[in-house]
Amino acid sequence: MKKSLLLLPLLALLGCTMPEVETPVLTVDGGRIQGVLAENTGVYVYRGIPYAAPPIGDLRWKEPQPVEAWDSIRICDKFGHPGYQSVHYPGYYTSEWGYGDEAPYSEDCLYLNVWTKAPGQVEKKLPVALWIHGGGYREGWGSEPEFDGQEWASKDVVLVTINYRLGIFGFMPYPELSAESPHQVSGNYGILDQIQSLKWIKQNIAQFGGDPDNVTIFGQSAGAGSVKTLCESPLARGLFNKAVIMSGGGINVPAKEGEEAMPATPMVKFFTYNPTLKEAEAETKKVMDWAGLTDLTKLRAASTELLYTVGTLYNMVNKSDVMIMERPIIDGYVSLKNFDEATRGGTIADVPYMIGYTLNDMGSMAPGIAEFCKVRESQGGKAWAYEFARPLPDDGHHPEITSRLKGAFHSSDLWYVFKSLQHCWRPWTQGDWDLSEKMLTAWTNFVKYANPNGAEGSEGLSWTPCTAENPQFMLFKLDAQDAEASEMGAPIRPE
């Protein structure tokens, strides 16, 4: 915590120490909590708040259950466990995001974090944003260094980031799980976690100075896929008011008469592959029976490590490519139809949207994004589209950086949206800090006003909605002078 530099010498002479500033004690579901001061002046962070009971033991593969209460004040100064996932070794995204300081991976992962300037000030009613991390539904967590939320809080937004169940623990369909469910479905536990976090926000965010009736959901990659699922899901309706879809594609573009349909990009294929629930259950049972996990009792008693590796082992031994469903599925309860059908049918959440991608993303997402905006316009809705086109600077000292981390690659815009560049090794220029401020302002304006240009366009970004007549994308890049400075490799910190 910060101390006054002017008072420190005087206090030292007197043999005294400066008392730490106490953060407000809040009461949320489960009990009382106390956070800590962030580095930004006036910003508080509450880390590792449980938003549901640990989904372990008999609660493995069940809908999130109520938080287990605690008696004393819970000091929320450490982030909670990320969902269980593979170890991250140097190279690829590990080199970019600097994994290694997080809490141990665990099935006990249902924790969230809140950054705010107004803890305990219920009357403030600040806009709220819920960030859903990506990672292919198999990895990632809400406290990665690029998701540092203090700049959002400094912009008078209450930011919430979450961990949710991943991989086989978050998305496994299985016949006996469906049989025991009151809704006769299985899988989608990770999405149910996200819905539970929205319910937690509705019940508790006023304690942090947030407005429970002004909530934006936003996510990137698989987080964007999650946002799409939430926008379609009837269970999430009314729990949020705006949505941002980052590098998750749009909708399929129909083929013109006499032409073949536009081939889907790898990312679009990933998000749109949807076996039926029964098909997915059968694939899972085939693998689990092979491993001797022939019923639900054995599955719930199995070790975390065995369950995580069983699909890979099955395919190695049997020279097979059987795929256990480890992402959202249309189950008739959480999800009724795919995002394309829901969008065209007008059954997705009728809220303002921001949607975009990076220049060197996993295939060009521009056509599908423009198609989504056109359909939303035809239904009376608004959608702002963007392309992030700043190739990230490289200092040449990281030989492990592969071609997948060159240019404006998939996920490269995250440093800018959160203005968290100080956590990265890259040699940023002043132009990068300026671009980050521009993007942070646009995103937080959208959260506040449902318009990235600010209240009645007061910020002057001149970002117009993407429409059939004007299918324009906002282009986020450096100007020529900044780009030249970047190529010279001159690192600059913000003034």
Domain extent listing, the chain: 29-254+329-476
Listed in order, strand segments (DSSP E) in 38-87 are 44-50, 74-75
What pLDDT, on a 0 to 100 scale, did the predictor assign at position 272?
54
Distance CA 160, CA 370 (A): 29
Question: Exposure string (b/e) for 163-176, b if CB count within 10 Å is 16 or more?
Answer: bbbbbbbbbbbbbb
Distance CA 115, CA 101 (A): 19
Positions of the chain with pLDDT under 50: 1-19, 481, 484-495
- Residue 68 vs residues 64, 323, 355: alpha-carbon distances, Å: 12, 35, 37
What pLDDT, on a 0 to 100 scale, did the predictor assign at position 261?
58
For CA atoms 263, 268, 270, 276, give the dihedral sign: negative
Q: Which residues pair with 474 in a beta bridge?
A: 386
Distance CA 213, CA 351 (A): 13
Count helices and strands (H / E) in the chain.
16, 13
Would you call 262 exposed, middle or buried from its count of C-beta atoms within 10 A (0-12, 13-18, 19+)? Answer: middle
DSSP SS3 for 94: helix
Distance CA 241, CA 137 (A): 24
Torsions phi, psi of 200, nearest 5?
A: -60, -45
Q: Are 363 and 53 in contact (CB under 8 A)?
A: no
Listed in order, strand segments (DSSP E) in 108-250 are 111-116, 126-132, 158-162, 210-220, 242-246
Q: Residue 40 half-sphere exposure, CB side, CA atoms within 13 Å?
A: 18
Structure tokens at 103: 């809490």
Which secondary structure element, helix H or strand E, spans residue 415, and what is its range?
helix 414-417
CATH class of this structure's domain 29-254+329-476: alpha beta
Distance CA 117, CA 208 (A): 8
What pLDDT, on a 0 to 100 scale, did the predictor assign at position 196?
98
Distance CA 347, CA 360 (A): 31
For CA atoms 205, 209, 212, 216, give the dihedral sign: negative
Closest-CA residue to 47 (of 15, 82, 9, 13): 82
Spatial neighbors of 68 by CB under 8 A, at least 6 apart, are 30, 50, 53, 54
Torsions phi, psi of 70, nearest 5?
A: -125, 160
Q: Are 171 and 273 in contact (CB under 8 A)?
A: no
Closest-CA residue to 121 (of 49, 26, 50): 26
What pLDDT, on a 0 to 100 scale, did the predictor assign at position 269?
54
CA dihedral 491, 159, 35, 44 (to 10 degrees): 60
Which amino acid type is present at position 23?
T
Kindly report the pTM of this predicted structure. Answer: 0.91
Distance CA 423, CA 346 (A): 41
For 224-227, which contacts have Cβ atoms below 8 Å and span 24 or more sequence positions?
224/134, 224/248, 224/249, 225/137, 225/270, 225/271, 225/327, 225/328, 226/132, 226/137, 226/190, 226/191, 226/194, 226/328, 227/132
Helices assigned H by DSSP within 74-148: 93-97
What pLDDT, on a 0 to 100 scale, did the predictor assign at position 486?
43
What pLDDT, on a 0 to 100 scale, did the predictor assign at position 87?
84
Which secondary structure element, helix H or strand E, spans residue 26, and what is its range?
strand 25-28
Pairing label, strands 474-476, 44-50: unpaired
